[in-house]
Structure 1
Amino acid sequence: MRVLITGGAGFIGSHLADAYVERGDEVFILDDLSTGSIDNIRHLRAHPRFHYTIESVHHAPTVAELVDQCDVVFHLAAAVGVKLIVESPVRTIETNVHGTEVVLAQANKKKKKVLIASTSEVYGLSEDVPFREDGNLVLGATTKGRWSYACSKAIDEFLALAYWKERKLPTVLVRLFNTVGPRQTGQYGMVVPTFVKQALSGRPLTIHGDGSQSRCFTDVGDVVSALIGLMDHPGAVGEVFNVGSSEEVTIQRLAERVRSLTGSASEIVHIPYEKAYGEGFEDMPRRVPCLDKIHALIGYRPRKSLDQILAGVIDFFRDAPTCSTRSEPLPE
C-alpha cells in the first residue's frame, strides 16, 4: 500500500511512518517543519520506500500530486500544544481548518480514504466522564482563546463527516488523548517531556494550578497501532473513535512519578494558570476516554502502563543529553 502522512515529520507522524515502512508499505510524507523536525525522519531518508516533501499542507497542487500517488491519507498536520494555541490563535485556526479543507477536497477527487486526527480537546468543559464519542461537546466562551483549538478541530470533524455523508468520501475520525513517547518535544507545552527534561537537568518541575487536574497518557506505539487498525477496517468509515488510555493520573502525581523514576532531587513548584497563559485561562479537571467503541471494532487496548511510558521517554532524553538541559516553556 502507498500511504500519505501529512505532518509526517512530527512526533506521531514519524512513528506512523516507521510502522508502515517496517510493514513493507511505501510511505510519502508532507510537512512544512513548523512544529515537526527533520531529525524525526532522518533515519528513514535513505530507505527506498520512504519519500518526503517539505511543503505546507495548504499548498493544494502539492497535496493533489501526493494524494494521486497514494492509496490512503493520514491527515495529522495541525497546530498543536497549549502554548502555541494561546499565543497564536490565528495560526491555529487557519492551519487546522484550511489544511483539512485542502486535504479533503483533493482526496475527494479520487475518493481516497482519509483518517483525520482530532483531539480530546473537543470535549471541552464537559464533566460527563469518561468521554464517549456520541457525548455532548461543551466549549468555553469565544472570548477565551484557549478554545480556538478545540473549535477548529470540531469543525474539522464536521467537515470530514459531511464529505462522507454528502460526497461518499471514506473518512475516519480519531480523537487522540495525550499521546507521549520518544521524539516528543516539550517546546509547545507538552507536559511529560517537559517534566522529564526538568528532572534530568535538576530544574524545578513546574505544575500549572494545584496539580489536581488529571489526564490519561498513551504510548505513541499503542496509538500508531490503533490508527493503522482503524485505517485497515472498513467498519471505521464515517465514525469517530477515542484513542487513548484509561489509566488516569493527576499532574501532581505525574510530577512525583517522573522525579522518582529519574532519581531527581528537583523540587515541584506550582504556577498559577494566569501567570503561564494569561488572565482567564480555563482548563479541564479530568480528561478520560471511553474506549468501548474502538475495542469493539478492532480489539484495541493500550499495552503500556504509565511507568513504562515514562521510562521510555526518560531513556530517550538520557540518550540525548544536549536536549535535556534546553530551556522549555511551561507544561500543559
Structure 2
Amino acid sequence: MRVLITGGAGFIGSHLAEACLEKGDEVYIIDDLSTGSLANIEPLRNSKRFKNRLFVHIDTILNHDLMEELTGICDIVFHLAAAVGVRYILDNPLKSIKINVQGTEEILEICTKFKKRVLIASSSEVYGKHLHAPLVETDNIIYGPSSKFRWSYAASKLMDEFTALAYYRTKGLQVVITRLFNTVGPRQTGAYGMVIPRFVTQALKNKPLTIYGDGTQSRTFTFVKDVVSALMGLMECEEAAGEVFNVGGTQEITILELAKKIIKAADSSSGYQLIPYEQAFARDFEDMQRRVPSIEKIRKAIGFEPQVNLDEILQQVIDYQKSIINRQLTINN
C-alpha cells in the first residue's frame, strides 16, 4: 500500500512512517519542517530495509500541485501536519490558523477528488475548559474569549472537524477524525511547550523543573507507539468513517506530581519552580485544568488499550534524552 503522511517528519508522523514501513508499505512524507525535523526520519532514510520505499518532500501542504500529485499516487492519507504546541501557537497565531484551517480543507478537497480515505489528527484541545472527566466525544465545547489567542488552536482544530464531517456527509468522503491527548515518547522536543521532554531535560541537567501555574492541573499521557497503533487501526476500520475518536491514556496525574515523579525516575537533584502563567507566556494564555479522555468509543471500535504505562513512558523519554545529551557532549569534546 502507498501511504501519504502530512507532517511525516514530526514527532508522531515519523513514528507512524516507521510503523508503515515496517508493515511493508511505501511511505510518502510531506513536511515543511516548521516543527518537524529531518533528524526524526534520518534513520529511516538511511535504512537499507526501507530503500526505495520512503519518499520525502520538504514543502508546505498548501502547495496544491504537489499535494494533488502525492494524493493521486497514494492509497490512503494520514493528515498530521499542523501548527502544534502552545508556545508556537502564541508566537505564530496567523500562520497557525492558516495551516490548520486552510491546509486541512485543501487536504479534504483533494482526497475527495481522488476518492482517498483520510485520517484527520485533531486534538483534545477542542474540548476547551471542561473540569469534568472523562471527556466524551459528544461533550459540549467551552472556550475562552477570542482575545485569548491560546484558544485559536482549539477553534481551528474544531473547524477542521466540522469541515471533515461536512465532506463526509455531503460528498461521501471516507474520513476518520482522532482527538489526540498528550502524546509522548522519543523524538519529542520540549521546544514548543511539551511538558515531559522539557521536564526530563531539566532533570537530567539537575536544573529546577519549571512548572507553569500552581501545578494542580492534571493530564493523561499516551505513548507514541500506542497512538500510532490506534491511528493505523482506525484507518483500517470501515465503520470508523465519519466518526470522531478520543485517543489517549487513562492514568491521570497532576503536573506537580509529574515533576516529582520525573525527578525521582531520573535520579536527579533538581527541585521545581512554580512560574505564573503571565510570566511564562506573557499574554493570551489560559490553561485547561483537567484533560482526561474516555476511550470507550475507540475501545469498542478497534479494541484499543494503551499498552505502555506512565512509568515506562518516562523511562523511554529519559533514556532518549540521555542519548541526545551524551551525543552533544561527544560533539562538543
Selected match of 1:97 from 101, 104, 112: 101
Match of 2:6 in 1: 6
Q: SS of the residue aligned with 1:41?
A: helix
Q: Deviations over 1:212-256 (max 9, x none)?
A: 000000000100000000000101000000000111000000000
Within-5 A mapping of 1:53-92: 53-92=57-96
Q: SS of the residue aligned with 1:175?
A: strand
Q: TM-score under structure 2 normalisation? A: 0.96
Percent identity between matched residues is: 55
CA distance in 2, matches of 1:135, 1:324: 46
- CA-CA distance at 1:281 after TM superposition: 2.4
CA distance in 2, matches of 1:323, 1:271: 31
CA distance in 2, matches of 1:160, 1:283: 27
Within-5 A mapping of 1:36-55: 36-46=36-46, 47-55=51-59
Q: SS of the residue aligned with 2:164?
A: helix
CA distance in 2, matches of 1:117, 1:130: 20
Is 1:25 the counterpart of 2:25 in the alignment? yes
Selected match of 1:149 from 145, 148, 153: 153
Match of 1:118 in 2: 122
- CA-CA distance at 1:267 after TM superposition: 1.2
Unaligned runs of 5+ in 1: 326-332
Q: Deviations over 1:6-58 (max 9, x none)?
A: 00000000000000100111111100111100000011114221111111011
Shift of the 165–87 alpha-carbon distance from structure 1 to 2, 3 Å rule, reads same
Unaligned runs of 5+ in 2: none
Within-5 A mapping of 1:284-295: 284-295=288-299
Q: TM-score under structure 1 normalisation? A: 0.96
Selected match of 1:173 from 177, 201, 219: 177
CA distance in 2, matches of 1:143, 1:323: 43
Q: Deviations over 1:313-332 (max 9, x none)?
A: 0000111115789xxxxxxx
For 1:16, give the aligned amino acid.
Answer: L
Q: Deviations over 1:134-180 (max 9, x none)?
A: 11111111011100000000000000010000011110000000000
CA distance in 2, matches of 1:54, 1:125: 36
Q: Deviations over 1:76-104 (max 9, x none)?
A: 00000010111211111011011101111
Shift of the 125–110 alpha-carbon distance from structure 1 to 2, 3 Å rule, reads same
Match of 1:134 in 2: 138
Match of 1:330 in 2: none
Shift of the 79–323 alpha-carbon distance from structure 1 to 2, 3 Å rule, reads farther
Q: SS of the residue aligned with 2:33?
A: coil
Shift of the 241–266 alpha-carbon distance from structure 1 to 2, 3 Å rule, reads same
Match of 2:190 in 1: 186
CA distance in 2, matches of 1:150, 1:280: 13
For 1:187, give the aligned amino acid.
Answer: A
CA distance in 2, matches of 1:279, 1:38: 32
| Number of aligned residues | 325
CA distance in 2, matches of 1:264, 1:162: 50
Q: SS of the residue aligned with 2:257?
A: helix
For 2:6, give the aligned amino acid.
Answer: T
